[in-house]
Amino acid sequence: MLDIKFLRSNPEIVKQNIKNKFQDEKLPLVDEVIELDLRNREIKQEVEALRAEKNKSSKEIGAMMAQKKFEEAEVLKKKVSESAGRIEELSVEEKEVEEKIKKIMMTIPNIIDPSVPIGKDDSENVELERFGEPVVPDFEIPYHTEIMEAFNGIDLDSARKVAGNGFYYLMGDIARLHSAVISYARDFMINRGFTYCIPPFMIRSNVVTGVMSFAEMDAMMYKIEGEDLYLIGTSEHSMIGKFINTQLTEEELPQTLTSYSPCFRKEKGAHGIEERGVYRIHQFEKQEMIVVCKPEESMEWYEKLWKNTVDLFRSMDIPVRTLECCSGDLADLKVKSVDVEAWSPRQKKYFEVGSCSNLGDAQARRLGIRVKGKDGSYFAHTLNNTVVAPPRMLIAFLENNLQADGSVKIPEVLRPYMGGNEKIEVKKK
């Protein structure tokens, strides 16, 4: 959420930012909120003047009563009563106006970083760098669920009966591999100085609206019927929410946390064949990283965060690339974002396995996360990044480590989490 003072002083910058995000339907909101803000300040000034006059009159009434000027005192009493009524009337209007302002400000997108490429949607995202050599083996690579089935590692039919489409049972070595990746990712981040955390898997509505836009909430979140609780779509929601309505000291920054959680997502819409299996699902597990820091340090942390993901994937022999998200592909709260994509030898292309985002002070402003500095308090900056989400990561892992005989090689870093095994063998033909 933008600072109303910034919007008031820079309406054209805000409008151009809206245009850069191809959300022209929101342009009228800028003028509307400016008018509401002006009215809000007029109300406050009138209320302040009325209260000052009321206090003055109250003192005069006391003096008149002491002098037995009862008639004059009654006139003033009537005037004070009228002022009180007007103040109450204005206070009701003030509350209504402020609610309208907040609602509009929550929908106006954050100012994107000048380095963000201008583009309408994800088709105009820009490749930044490749890490590792993409390899296409001289043998056919099956679809990822077929690879898993060769190890008796997945049961989609039973999951469909139990929970419907978008769910799965992972079994045996594949389930163990899934847990191994999560455990390795946890230790990887701890070794990089992050504090490990397991957060609540449900959050209240005030946290939901603090961490994401209304459109994102509707597309992603599952609501718990009859309660003010939502299942988290990713643990960053709980992790940033941990700091709601807090004031940190500069000495306490940066806060660097890595968290494990299940994630629950609606995943609305129809999906193509490449998004079947475990690519796009309603429930999965994830290792996440978040940072709460000083504004001047957020871009430095942004670079560190996405590099953590790249290093993790490369340690498991998976080629990756980074993709800069263009303006039209950025969610409203984001200042800058980069996707990490893994190489798919089967598809002969890269696909998304994680996303790193700098949200500036947008989430902190919504959630009331302040920092106490030498010259007063200010809003912190927040960032988040996927360490690893095993369902998609498993696709990349299995395809890139599949051997000609159908076995899957276990990279050295994962072997301690897989009982020392160097590979997993096919269970059925």
Residue 321 in marked binding region: no
Q: Among candidates 307, 244, 281, which has minimal Cα distance to 394?
A: 281
Based on the structure, what is the number of domains in the chain? Answer: 2
Over the chain, what is the mean pLDDT? 92
Mean pLDDT, residues 115-141 taken together: 96
Mean pLDDT, residues 98-106 taken together: 94
The pLDDT of residue 23 is above 90: yes
Residue 288 in marked binding region: yes
- Assigned token pair, 37: 């803000």
Point out the domain boundary residue: 105, 133, 152: 105
Residue 420 in marked binding region: no
Dist. CA 308–CA 289, nearest whole Å = 10
- Assigned token pair, 140: 């056919």
CB 271 within 8 A of CB 169: no
Q: Indicate whether 172 and 244 sit together in one domain.
A: yes
Residue 280 in marked binding region: no
Residue 266 in marked binding region: yes
pLDDT of 58 reads: 78
pLDDT one-digit tens code per residue, 32-66:
999 999 999 999 999 999 888 888 887 887 777 77
Cis peptide before 295 (omega within 30 of 0): no
Q: Indicate whether 76 and 198 sit together in one domain.
A: no
Q: Indicate whether 101 and 225 sit together in one domain.
A: no
Q: How far apart are the first and last CA of the chain?
A: 56
Q: Indicate whether 38 and 182 sit together in one domain.
A: no
Pick the more confident residue, 190 or 61.
190
Dist. CA 331–CA 357, nearest whole Å = 10
List 126's β-bridge partners, or say none: 324
Residue 353 in marked binding region: yes
Residue 127 in marked binding region: no
Identify the top-confidence range among 234-238, 273-277, 418-422.
418-422
pLDDT one-digit tens code per residue, 243-293:
999 999 999 999 999 999 999 998 765 445 444 678 788 999 999 999 999
Q: Indicate whether 228 and 154 sit together in one domain.
A: yes
Q: Indicate whether 259 and 357 sit together in one domain.
A: yes
The pLDDT of residue 429 is above 70: no
- Percent of the chain's residues with pLDDT above 70: 97
Q: Indicate whether 76 and 200 sit together in one domain.
A: no
Residue 12 in marked binding region: no
Helix/strand/coil for 191: coil
Q: Which domain holds residue 25?
A: 2-105
Q: Among candidates 289, 281, 282, 295, which has minimal Cα distance to 357?
A: 289
Dist. CA 289–CA 304, nearest whole Å = 11
